[in-house]
Amino acid sequence: MPTAPRRLLIVDDDDDVCEMLTTILAPLGLAISKVHTAEEGIHQLREHVFDVVLLDVGLPDMSGFDVLKSAHHSLARFIILTGDSSPDKVVDAVRGRAFDYIAKPFDKDTLLSAVSRALECNENTEIEIYSAKPEWFELSLPCTRDCAERIENFMRHIKVDLPADLRDTVISAFRELLMNAVEWGGGLDPDRRVRVACIRTSRMIQYRISDPGPGFRFENLTHAAIGHPEEGPLAHLNERENRGMRPGGLGLVMVKAMADELIYNEEQNEVVLIKYLD
């Protein structure tokens, strides 16, 4: 017996956008339903089971976030679509337990990647929110690459008001530290969690990342460039080759170059990154 196609719901008041989304997603072979109001979306979610929901924020009868709040019973993964990419909207998406966030206009690869990730993710994806304010954003996430990539995306949109080059620098450094925490500190174990805080003032951005691992010492990182300060940034390559590891190992060296301050606790399972804005 053939397997029933996965189901996706589009909630957007623009017919042209609905048709564009349907066309882009056609290669995924989904059963797609489309509605144009929040009320219709809530009704569909009560009557039917969906795997993924593409949810516009600016609906004619109420906000898409109202749909998100009303659908707490649903197992669907919600991807927020919005033309208003202000930090407040991103925070609302995280607070509402949205799976992902896409700012309009977007390209088809971004959409396909987000929907595919939502369909394929079978791990623990629960993100716990401790503070959801643009100036103090704090949460914990399971130790999976998928969750780390989602948090990186949310963080990128929260920093939308920064100059593009500064935003890319800050997010690149944050990504490297977060991936290290998830992969090395948490061992890619979805039952273990990494805690992340981002504090924004008028003069600086501070990230604080704490992982559940035992910590490390730079001198023991023989597979990374930072473990060879006297020998130069390429001295680790032989070690990586001997271990059968992919090329790389420059991450922490690059983070130190990007950050204005990088401070570890004594065990080195918690790190604070500071970038000054002046």
Q: What is the pLDDT of residue 104?
A: 86
- What's the rounded Cα separation, in Å, for the pair 192 and 209? 14
Going along the chain from its start, the domains and CATH numbers come out as: 1-120 (3.40.50.2300), 123-278 (3.30.565.10)
Q: What is the pTM of this model?
A: 0.78
Q: What is the pLDDT of residue 225?
A: 45
* Cβ contacts of 141 within 8 Å, gap of 6 or more: 127, 128, 147, 148, 151, 182, 193, 194, 196
- What's the rounded Cα separation, in Å, for the pair 1 and 26? 22
Q: What is the pLDDT of residue 240?
A: 46
The pLDDT averaged over each successive group of 10 residues in the chain (278 residues) is 83 95 96 96 95 95 92 89 81 86 90 93 79 89 91 82 87 92 92 95 95 76 49 53 49 83 93 92
